[in-house]
Structure 1
Amino acid sequence: MKGSCNCKSVSFSCGQEIRAIVNCHCNLCRKMNGASFSTYVVVAENELVLESSSLTSFKVSEHATKHFCHLCGTPIYNTNPKLPGLAILHLGAIDSDIEIQPAMNTYCESQLGWVNQIKDLHSFEKGLA
């Protein structure tokens, strides 16, 4: 599995063993990533190889440190001291196709009310413009 940031200053590779794919609906992830929820791919931290790196780290809470490109701001992965040995990759940073789907939603108490209705929205193959 390979990934990178938007400006290609950060690139990484990782073994194929995915521990879990998780949608997180907590308020912190929503704020931290500017999205209605975040999808993460959980892998063993010792299998994450940073091949080129312009990473900056920021401790966003006692439970999460966010590692992101200091040039373009793309989030790459998080670490959590309560989950030692794991890297929580941001799905959007992964360039490889991932065949499996998320296995769970977490922090559903914070989930935005309309998220379950996404499948019912008008969908377009490309943007509107």
Structure 2
Amino acid sequence: MEGRCLCEHIHFSVSDDAVTVVNCHCNLCRKMNGSAFSTYVVVQEQLFELKSGEVKSVQVSENASKHYCQYCGTPVYNKNPKLPGLTIVYLGAIDSGVNLTPVMNIYCESQLNWVSEIASFTHYDQGVK
């Protein structure tokens, strides 16, 4: 699987052998990503290869560092010392991410109460005009 940031400064590859795909509902992920939850592809560290570009890093907590494109701000991956040997790749940065499906939700005690209703919301193929 290949991935890129929005401006294409960062280019990476990830082996198809993902450990798992998860939705994280923790307050930290919501705050650092400005979203209701974050979807990650968790892979063995050696299966992630940064092919071009350089990521900037910020230590957001004692257990999380976020790595992102310095030019467009696209988050690429996170690292967590409690998960040694794993790289936590943002699903949205993977070009073929639409083919991956989360298998679990974690930190559900922080989940926003409306998230479970998403499937029932009105759907548009494109933005509202």
Which digits, 9 at most, give the CA deviation of each residue in 1:15-37, with x for residues without a partner? 11010000000010001111100
Following superposition, the deviation at residue 100 of structure 1 comes to 4.0
Unmatched tracts of structure 1, length 5 or more: none
1:67 aligns with 2:39: no
CA distance 1:94–1:27, change in 2 (3 Å): same
Identity of aligned residues (%): 54
Q: Which residue of 2 is the match for residue 37 of structure 1?
A: 37
Asked if the contact 2:30–2:36 (Cα under 8 Å) also holds between the matched residues in 1, the reply is yes
TM-score, normalization by structure 2: 0.96
Unmatched tracts of structure 2, length 5 or more: none
Equivalent position SS for 1:102: coil
Which digits, 9 at most, give the CA deviation of each residue in 1:43-98, with x for residues without a partner? 11111111112310111011111000011100000010011110000000000245
Moved over 6 A (4+): none
> Distance between the aligned counterparts of 1:124 and 1:74, measured in 2?
25
The alignment yields a C-alpha RMSD, in angstroms, of 1.0
> Distance between the aligned counterparts of 1:98 and 1:18, measured in 2?
14
